[in-house]
Each structure stands twice: as structure tokens, then as C-alpha cells.
Amino acid sequence: MEESADVSKKVEAMLAEGRVAIDDARSYLISRGEVVDLSEWVTIKEYCKRFNIKNIETVLNWINRGIVPKENVVIVEEFNNTKLIKAIPYQVAAHVS
């Protein structure tokens, strides 16, 4: 029972840290005159988790090939050039030989 309580506390602490990071990012973007709904925009790593993609290189490849439209990618220079991607599924066309 104690292990469960410890895990719950750790999860709550991680969620609290995430909320603080989101609030900081939102405040920063608003201060620059940009309004971004951060529930719609995620890091590439988070995108991979949400959509069960094995590695970030796949998503970076999609961005480079234009599968992910330019308007669905935001680069936040002040956060170490972090790329945010709109959290929607993208269709990759299969090539049939």
C-alpha cells in the first residue's frame, strides 16, 4: 500500500511540474504577443508518446518532407529552439510497388 502512495505522490509532483512549465510557456508566449493553445501543441517527444510513434526521427522526417504542414510547426527559439507540433494525426501515404 505504501508503494502505491509513493507512486501517487511522484505522479502528482510530476504533474505539478508540468503545469508550472505550461504556465511559464504560456506567459512567455503571451508576453511576445503570441497566443498558442498549449493543449493543441506538444513537443515532438510528447507527440510520439501520444500517437505511439517509435522515434522522434520519424516525425522530424515528416516535418522535413512536408507531411506536417509548416503552419503546424512552431519553433520557440527562447526555449532552446524547441519545436512544437500541432497534436493531430498526420497521414503518411504508403507507396505501393
Domain presence at residue 96? no
Residues 20 and 51 in one domain: no
pLDDT tens digit sequence for 41-59: 889 998 999 999 999 999 9
Q: Count of domains in the chain?
A: 2
Average pLDDT for the chain: 81
Domain that holds residue 11: 1-35
- Check: pTM over 0.75? Answer yes or no: no
Residues 24 and 43 in one domain: no
Domain presence at residue 74? yes
Domain presence at residue 65? yes
Contact 50, 87 (CB under 8 A): yes
Task: Enumerate residues 6+ apart whose C-beta is below 8 A from 75.
Answer: 81, 82, 83, 84
Please say if the pLDDT value at position 93 is more than 80: no
Please say if the pLDDT value at position 68 is more than 90: yes
Please say if the pLDDT value at position 18 is more than 80: no
Residues 84 and 50 in one domain: yes
Residues 31 and 42 in one domain: no
